[in-house]
């Protein structure tokens, strides 16, 4: 039932003591040996000696995604390059992505976190797990892959797409569990129905590990009643390592392995710490991270902390379902997209003017993004072929930078709405 009972069921006071020791060591090291953290702490007038209990973490400065961008690609790394054994890359806020580096130990505790999580939902050697998260620069595929191998499950690394083939493999190989985004699972269910396959009747698929994008209890009910699978929430971000933490069989919040990550919830406006049950922004400190430490990193996800006992017996704190973000990041088909990235890309194209609108909608189960772009008067032509060619070029540039296909609609100069106050450039009509 437990992967690592000594840690997972540790008395809460012992866990706090362990976290304090880990924090103290982290802060001492970074203050002494890392210029970035040293300067940040000095600017906030805080010295490692000021940290005398776990709660003193609130004296330390915050870290932001902007810090990763300012230090791109590797200036945030705290180990020599020869100790880095892998990179993953996620979306940045403008042209440059966010790069995450891992040492061997970083990969090991990431895998351990997933092994604990998968065990907590009953996945083990008897299971065949289809990993339908993207493999490659995205952390979803490889993260789940190694976690599942660690617990002895048989892994089927399909990645995203080729849905009909994925459904055939689910049938042929007796797949018992799938890991993918909730919207992809709904799409897979719809496709199966069209193929005449009833997931509940015709397959052994019984568990789904769903995350990487916001979803809701009503989506859970829809998935469970239409496909006969039990759906579990999985959470993580590339800055932390990747997907890491899931609900247990009780499904009353996502367990956060306290020896790996320390969670605070703050008021996003004032930065004040909030107590259990109060909704706010999650701030994380990675207690074991070597290649790219994170102290008080502002993740931007909104949630609440639960520290009551869970019936599963794990003593780790839990977070509730992510209900939104404090920034404007959009998640389109599981891929993070910042409106500022779109703007940055458009501004590189000489024919494009300075007005654009982003429309996001859901067609069936899948997200759709249409970007309306005004073009400069001198670039405007009434020859259809010219406009078609320009549109294709803009679509291809956007695809290159955003990693997802978007539809572009060209607009004549002056055609898009102007705003007197704050421009509203994103219209998101997706309902979750």
| Residue of the chain from 325, 359, 391, 411 that contacts ligand DLL (CB under 6 A) | 325
| C-beta of 59 vs 325, nearer to ligand DLL | 325
Which residue number is nearest to ligand DLL in terms of Cβ?
Answer: 211
Report residue 407: phi and psi, to 5°: -100, 135
Distances, alpha carbon 149 to alpha carbons 130, 173, 307, 380, in Å = 12, 17, 30, 55
In the three-class reduction of DSSP (H, G, I as helix; E, B as strand; rest coil), residue 102 is classed as strand
CB of 314 to ligand DLL, least distance (A): 18
236 near ligand DLL, judged by CB under 6 A: yes
Burial 348-370 (b: 16+ CB within 10 A, else e): ebebbbebbbbbbeeeebebbbe
* 213 belongs to the binding site for ligand DLL (CB under 6 A): yes
Binding range to ligand DLL, per CB under 6 A, among 49-57, 117-125, 166-174, 230-238: 230-238
Please, which residue, 103 or 246, has the CB nearer to ligand DLL? 246
Binding of residue 112 to ligand DLL (CB under 6 A): no
318 within 8 A of 312, measured Cβ to Cβ: no
Q: Which stretch binds ligand DLL (CB under 6 A): 5-13, 133-141, 193-201, 368-376?
A: 133-141
Question: Which CB, 90 or 103, lies closer to ligand DLL?
Answer: 90
Structure tokens at 26: 């982290």
Pick the closer one to ligand DLL by CB: 260 or 331.
Answer: 331
Q: Which is nearer to ligand DLL, 137 or 195 (CB)?
A: 137
Is 336 among the residues that bind ligand DLL (CB under 6 A)?
A: yes
Applying CB under 6 A, does 212 fall inside the site for ligand DLL? yes
Q: Is 301 in the site for ligand DLL (CB under 6 A)?
A: yes
**E strands of 223-279, at which residues?**
230-237, 242-246, 254-255, 261-266
- Beta-carbon-side half-sphere exposure of residue 160 (alpha carbons within 13 Å): 19
Q: Which two tokens stand for residue 51?
A: 């940290």
Q: Are the CB atoms for 321 and 301 separated by under 8 Å?
A: no
Q: What's the Rg (C-alpha) of the chain?
A: 23
User: What's the closest the beta carbon of residue 316 comes to ligand DLL, in angstroms?
Assistant: 17
The structure tokens 């001198």 sit at 378
Query: Which residues here bind ligand DLL, judged by CB under 6 A?
Result: 90, 133, 139-140, 211-214, 233-238, 242-243, 299, 301, 322, 325, 331, 336
């Amino acid at each position: 039932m437990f992967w690592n009972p000594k840690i997972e069921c540790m008395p809460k006071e012992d866990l706090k003591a362990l976290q304090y020791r880990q924090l103290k060591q982290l802060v001492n090291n970074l203050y002494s040996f890392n210029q970035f953290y040293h300067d940040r702490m000095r600017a906030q007038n805080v010295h490692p000696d000021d940290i005398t209990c776990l709660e003193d973490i609130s004296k330390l400065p915050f870290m932001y995604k902007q810090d990763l961008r300012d230090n791109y690609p590797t200036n945030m790394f705290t180990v020599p390059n020869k100790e880095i054994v892998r990179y993953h890359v996620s979306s940045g806020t403008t042209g440059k992505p966010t790069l995450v580096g891992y040492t061997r130990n970083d990969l090991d505790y990431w895998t351990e976190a997933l092994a604990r999580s998968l065990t907590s939902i009953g996945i083990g050697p008897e299971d065949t797990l289809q990993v339908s998260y993207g493999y490659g620069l995205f952390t979803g595929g490889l993260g789940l892959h190694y976690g599942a191998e660690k617990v002895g499950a048989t892994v089927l690394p399909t990645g995203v797409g080729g849905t009909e083939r994925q459904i055939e493999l689910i049938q042929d190989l007796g797949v018992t569990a799938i890991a993918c985004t909730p919207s992809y699972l709904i799409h897979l269910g719809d496709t199966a129905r069209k193929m005449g396959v009833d997931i509940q009747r015709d397959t052994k698929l019984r568990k789904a590990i769903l995350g990487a994008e916001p979803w809701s209890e009503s989506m859970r009910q829809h998935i469970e009643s239409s496909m006969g699978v039990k759906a579990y929430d999985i959470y993580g971000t590339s800055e932390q390592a990747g997907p890491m933490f899931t609900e247990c069989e009780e499904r009353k919040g996502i367990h956060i392995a306290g020896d790996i990550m320390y969670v605070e919830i703050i008021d996003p406006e004032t930065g004040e710490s909030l107590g259990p049950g109060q909704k706010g922004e999650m701030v994380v400190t990675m207690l074991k991270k070597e290649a790219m430490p994170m102290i008080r990193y502002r993740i931007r996800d909104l949630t609440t902390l639960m520290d009551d006992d869970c019936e599963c017996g794990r003593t780790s704190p839990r977070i509730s379902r992510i209900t939104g973000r404090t920034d404007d990041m959009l998640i389109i088909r599981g891929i993070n997209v910042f409106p500022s990235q779109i703007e940055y890309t458009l501004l590189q194209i000489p024919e494009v003017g300075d007005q654009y609108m982003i429309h996001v909608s859901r067609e069936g189960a899948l997200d759709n993004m249409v970007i309306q772009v005004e073009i400069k008067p001198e670039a405007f032509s009434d020859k259809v072929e010219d406009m078609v060619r320009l549109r294709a070029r803009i679509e291809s540039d956007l695809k290159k930078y955003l990693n997802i296909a978007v539809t572009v609609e060209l607009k004549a100069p002056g055609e898009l709405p102007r705003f007197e106050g704050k421009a509203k450039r994103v219209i998101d009509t997706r309902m979750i």
